[in-house]
Structure 1
């Protein structure tokens, strides 16, 4: 198991967060021609940090991912981002990060997220590693996405 720690992102982290997001979501941007997590400006990222709390996932003092969770109230949380840069994927970091999310929000009743419907690796991760269930599809821009829910 890789030793990870997590640090709350601050506005001063905007540029490193942009680097992580751009690395993690570049393939989506190329694949779909759009990706809301890719290509943010510093100002957009600073606003996002204020609006949606983020934690930086760190391994051996290297930022390797980001977690962003929005509280919706009544124990319901929306996972806006759980990403790991490509060089660190497949090492259990995402699974550990999700377990961290569960510990940070002990009052959770339901987690909700969306991911592209044709991203089989994401679907396997969320269903097999994290215990989510599919809850239908919808369009996000020109991308068909699957809504996932994990309930207690």
Structure 2
């Protein structure tokens, strides 16, 4: 069995399926964190269609499926800045049905391997996503560099969530 994660670009004909898989994975995280709360499905898709569309269609966007052999196990949407050699992860997900198998860690390091010119990575995750925090800090080597409150002036119902900003500086001495 192939245990290497590969990256495959998301084609324009695959964007709807990619978005659904990503939103399903993010919803699972929300349900796990707030299982005693009211139905989180009533909140709408997470990320919102608007946020996803803005991210995936921005000029510096790059989107990839993570594959184990021929099987899609997750995906990522990046904002790449080749000139500054700084990349930001907008969305990173592993399908819920393959969690806890080490695939997220393999996917992260496959991503780094595919972007060897990157000097720093940045990403954000909600404070309530303890599993994500553990993953990024303890498995992938990120540092938490900021805690902030989400302020969404366009949609006040999205305001008030605490987020963490993570950064990973790549040791360029070894390159």
Q: Deviations over 1:23-75 (max 9, x none)?
A: 2111338289466525x38xx65x64443211011234332211122113411
**Out of 91, 94, 104, which is 1:94 matched to?**
104
CA shift in 2, pair 1:31/1:149, >3 Å: farther
SS in 2 for 1:53: strand
Question: RMSD of aligned C-alpha atoms?
Answer: 2.5
Which residue of structure 1 lines up, in the alignment, with residue 65 of structure 2?
Answer: 56
Which residue of structure 2 lines up, in the alignment, with residue 123 of structure 1?
Answer: 133
Gaps of 5+ in 1: none
**TM-score (ref. length: structure 2):** 0.74
Distance 1:3 1:111 in 2: 22
Distance 2:120 2:6 in 1: 24
Gaps of 5+ in 2: 32-39, 151-158, 171-175
Counterpart contact for 2:7–2:65, Cα < 8 Å: yes
Q: Deviations over 1:86-118 (max 9, x none)?
A: 111111111111111111211111111000112
**TM-score (ref. length: structure 1):** 0.84
Which residue of structure 1 lines up, in the alignment, with residue 164 of structure 2?
Answer: 146
Give the structure with the higher percent strand.
Answer: 1
